[in-house]
Amino acid sequence: MASALFSRLVRLSARASPLGPSSTPGRTVTPYRSAVSSSSGAILPKPKKTPFGLMRIALVVVPFLYVGTQISKNFAALLEEHDIFVPEDDDDDD
């Protein structure tokens, strides 16, 4: 049952694909990029450009970096307070 359904889906997807093998002899399939042109062949307009792209990225990244450093600093202090991880003081005065 499942294999019959799977083979039917494979046949349908091969028929629907513009780049798939053609079922009629002598028919050639030309690849096209639907992101650049529509199905009628018209060139689509340019995509919208997001203004202030780098500024938006900075407005998101900088606060999260700051919050992350504060969390790690507080967690390191908590570990040191409970003597879970305490770095040894090595004196290199020898």
Q: Which element (helix H / strand E) includes 43?
A: none
Report pLDDT for 20.
47
Q: Please measure the distance between the N-terminal and C-terminal CA atoms of the chain and give it in whole angstroms.
A: 80
CA 57, CA 54: separation in Å to the nearest integer? 5
Report pLDDT for 27.
67
Spans of all domains in the chain: 49-89
How would you write the pLDDT of the chain (94 residues) with one tens digit per residue? 667 766 766 665 555 445 445 555 666 776 655 577 777 888 888 878 878 888 999 999 999 999 999 999 999 999 989 988 877 777 666 5
Tell me whether residue 28 is exposed, middle or buried, using C-beta atoms within 10 angstroms of its C-beta: 0 to 12, 13 to 18, 19 or more: exposed
